[in-house]
Amino acid sequence: MSFTANHPATRQQAKIMNRFELTKRMVVRLKQNEAVIGGIGYTNFDLWAAGRRPQNFYMLGSMGLACPIALGVALAQPERQVIALEGDGSILMQLGSLATIAGRKQCNLTIVIMDNGTYQITGGQPAATAQGADIVAIARGCGLAQSAWAADEGGFEELIDLALREDGPWLIGCRIDQEKPADTTERDPARIRDQFMRGLGVKR
């Protein structure tokens, strides 16, 4: 597949990067009011830290549901690009959602997986990803053919640009380190939901 030609095929070959740094690089590339769904934990903390956007949604407790929520937004607003930002532990809980997304061929949806091989927020217990589970390979097996590991920061930016430009669904795997997040999301769910709906133009 041409789009992965310059990117490593395996998790082991991908550079270990930093979650906050990658999140910032992603957010600056969002110029069309793209919706971003931040999964539970440090993934959404760093999305919060990367700058408030009314098109960001921050989950609180429903671990594993970033991809389904993003699919719902993408179904409701087919003209808008939607990104699910999810951790490896979280997506391992809801692998079936990758098959559902592949089956829907949801062309305005991109999944970004931040993979540090651990349940970092609960003390760094190893996840199945540290023992050989490869989320990109799993995604391909689910039918998400446009799935790739980001080789490095530049490769990540290329993949994000490609995903925002061309029909998906896409899945971008990112190896990340064990750095703590840069901030903590404000836990006010009613406000998060209300601002998100206004950011999507559903409420005025």
Partner 1 sequence: MQAEETRAWHQIVVNVLKRHEVRLITYVPDNVLRPLIDATHADPFFTAFATTREEEALGILSGAWMGGLRGILLMQTSGFGTLANVIASLAVPFQIPVLMMVSERGTLGEFNIGQALVAKTMRPVLDAIAVENHTLTRTDEVEFILDRSIRQAIATQAPACFILSPLLTGGKVFQA
DSSP string computed for 19-72: HHHHHHHHHTT--S--EEEEPTTHHHHHHHHT---TTEEE--S-TT-HHHHHHH
Which residues are registered as beta bridge partners of 115? 175
The amino acid at 189: P
Residue 51 vs residues 132, 151, 185: alpha-carbon distances, Å = 34, 25, 11
Q: d(Cα 146, Cα 160) in Å, to the nearest integer?
A: 12
Task: Give the closest residue to 108 by CA, choosing from 48, 168, 187, 186.
Answer: 168
Binding to partner 1, residues 9-68 (CB under 8 A): 35, 37, 57, 59-62, 64-65, 67-68
Q: d(Cα 130, Cα 189) in Å, to the nearest integer?
A: 32
CB of 77: closest distance to partner 1 in angstroms?
Answer: 5
Segment contacting partner 1 by CB under 8 A, of 151-159, 161-169, 175-183, 192-200: 192-200
Using CB under 8 A as the binding rule, whether residue 160 contacts partner 1 is answered as: no
Nearer to partner 1, 17 or 66 (CB): 66
CB of 33: closest distance to partner 1 in angstroms?
Answer: 12
Q: d(Cα 198, Cα 189) in Å, to the nearest integer?
A: 14
Segment contacting partner 1 by CB under 8 A, of 46-54, 70-78, 147-155, 168-176: 70-78
Segment contacting partner 1 by CB under 8 A, of 8-16, 23-31, 147-155, 187-195: 187-195
Q: d(Cα 200, Cα 191) in Å, to the nearest integer?
A: 14
Segment contacting partner 1 by CB under 8 A, of 20-28, 153-161, 169-177, 190-198: 190-198
Binder to partner 1 among 97, 108, 116, 129 (CB under 8 A)? 97
Nearer to partner 1, 71 or 150 (CB): 71
Residues that bind partner 1 (CB under 8 A): 35, 37, 57, 59-62, 64-65, 67-77, 80, 94, 96-97, 99-100, 103-104, 189-190, 192-193, 196-197, 200-202
